[in-house]
Amino acid sequence: MKDSTQAKLDMYNPLVMSKMFLLNDAQIMDKFNSEYMFWIDAGLCNTVHPGYFTHDKVISKLPKYISKFTFITFPYETTTEIHGFKYDRICDFANDNVNKVARGGFFGGRKETIRQLNSIYYNLLIDTLTNNLMGTEESIFTIILYRYPELVNYIEILSNGLLSKFFEDLKNNNVVVKNIASIDNVVKKSIVDVKTHLYVLTYNFPEQFEYLVESFRKADVNFLNKPTKFLLNNSTDRSTDEKYNELCERYGFEQIKKNNIGICGGRQYIAEHFDKSDADYYIFFEDDMLLHENNNTVCENGFRTWIPNLYNRTLHIMNEENYDFFKLNFTEFYGSNAVQWAWYNVPDHVRIKYFPKKTKKPKFGLDPNPPLTTFTNIKKFEDISYIEGENYYCNWPLWFNKEGNRKVFLDPKFEHPYEQSLMSLVYQKQKQNLFKTAVLLLSPINHDRVHHYSPKERKEN
């Protein structure tokens, strides 16, 4: 290594080792509300033609491929050292046999991932230097690539290590994203590539629908920009048609008009509509289930009511975990997910079987000491925690995949669906290990109806 740049330039390693710290500083000081941030070496255009950036506008194509923090890698076959870092020791730190190296000239991802990667990078740098091991920043990046596949993807270039290959592929839409942990290097669709639907159920008050949509715009505009949007208009007041039509045109919703088929009837229609579509996932809202704005509040259970980029981050979890459904709110209007609400709604013989210590429900009202939800695993993505278990079904906003949607609404299909019946069905299937579900340890949904219709007009189906 005596003839390498590392050895000849005194400040080379301190400089390149600081790239991740500088990127983290940039995300802290970001005043542009960026969704993605990337490091680009100052001298990148010594080997990459600037026309990729000025003419081909390749940077704008990055979100199509970036779901996790992403490195560019090149093949590296050796048994001695990688940039001066002893090969056997880098394999020890990587927990694998290293055969590719992550480049330092270009890397990054969604802004929310940078803080966590910076912390990992800092601790690995301390550990390796303490053990008298030093290569360059690429050595630490390579360890992260192998050691944290749940956080990091990679894109391969040729063995010469030139990043121009990556930008040429980006220009031609030929980028292939890979992951160390994937079988045969086949990864799931990026959240940018999956198809999603958003459904809203509304009745007789376009002002309430507009109130909901404005909450999307203020709290997380991705709810408006990313999915294909449908409004199931259950209205019977035809004087509202013109306003609904104008709002759907303004916000890009396809309107489906029904003559009050009810809340659960509308919910059933949405499930069948999604099942016939080519979408991968959908999320459902009633028009009084708004998003909280960023006001630094917590729910009665102590969970945050707002996080940035809720849409993309929960969709990422849904896509990675392959849940049948994924609930967005821990604390709901009538109670929380800590309580097993299905207990109230299952048949008596099911209650006796699965709740032997609590076989009787009250004749009226709520039990002061109801059974609690059985949870199994708490997991974390970035700074978001979520918990798996026997999470009950209800009509509050949640993500569904195709299989979960069918298991709830189509197998079997109720002629007259009720929320209580669906909750009971899901619980009984959960006891047969037929569901994989989770709920956020957050409460971002704000139940707020400001335009009220007569209770006599309310229909379930």
Using CB atoms within 10 Å of the CB of residue 293, give its burial: 0 to 12 exposed, 13 to 18 middle, 19+ buried.
Answer: middle
| Mean pLDDT along residues 369-383 | 94
Segment 194-217, tens digit of pLDDT:
899 999 999 999 999 999 999 999
* Residue 16 structure tokens: 């390149």
pTM of the entire predicted model: 0.67
DSSP secondary structure code for residue 184 in this structure: G
C-beta separation of 156 from 179 below 8 A = no
Domain 196-457 top-level CATH class:
alpha beta
Judge whether residue 249 has pLDDT over 60.
Answer: yes
Rounded to whole angstroms, what are the CA distances from 347 to 23, 350, 352, 460? 56, 5, 9, 20
Judge whether residue 381 has pLDDT over 60.
Answer: yes
Give the strand pairing for 437-440 and 375-381. Answer: unpaired
pLDDT of 92? 92
C-alpha span between 74 and 157 (Å, rounded): 5
Mean pLDDT of the chain: 93
| Mean pLDDT along residues 149-175 | 94
pLDDT of 461? 80
Question: Does 5-185 match 196-457 in CATH topology?
Answer: yes
Phi, psi of 69 (to 5 degrees): -60, 135
Segment 341-352, tens digit of pLDDT:
999 999 999 999
pLDDT of 457? 84
Judge whether residue 449 has pLDDT over 80.
Answer: yes
The number of C-alpha atoms within 13 Å of 273 and in the hemisphere containing its C-beta is: 22
Judge whether residue 398 has pLDDT over 90.
Answer: yes
C-alpha span between 453 and 172 (Å, rounded): 54
Which amino acid belongs to residue 262? G
pLDDT of 203? 96
Judge whether residue 317 has pLDDT over 70.
Answer: yes
| Mean pLDDT along residues 262-287 | 96
pLDDT of 320? 86
pLDDT of 237? 95
Question: With bands split at pLDDT 50, 70 and 90, how would you rate the model's confidence at 302?
Answer: very high
Tell me, rounded to whole angstroms, the distance of Cα 367 from its chain centroid.
35
Stated as kind and residue range, the H or E segment containing 173 is: none
Judge whether residue 182 has pLDDT over 80.
Answer: no
Judge whether residue 185 has pLDDT over 80.
Answer: no
Structural domain 5-185, CATH architecture: Alpha-Beta Complex (3.90)
Question: With bands split at pLDDT 50, 70 and 90, how would you rate the model's confidence at 128?
Answer: very high
pLDDT of 219? 96
Q: Where are the domains of the chain?
A: 5-185, 196-457
| Mean pLDDT along residues 397-403 | 96
Judge whether residue 83 has pLDDT over 90.
Answer: yes
pLDDT of 187? 53
| Mean pLDDT along residues 303-327 | 94
Stated as kind and residue range, the H or E segment containing 274 is: helix 263-275
Stated as kind and residue range, the H or E segment containing 73 is: strand 69-75
* Residue 13 structure tokens: 């390693």
Q: Which residues contact 313 (CB under 8 A, 6 or more apart)?
A: 112, 307, 381, 382, 384
Question: With bands split at pLDDT 50, 70 and 90, how would you rate the model's confidence at 190?
Answer: low
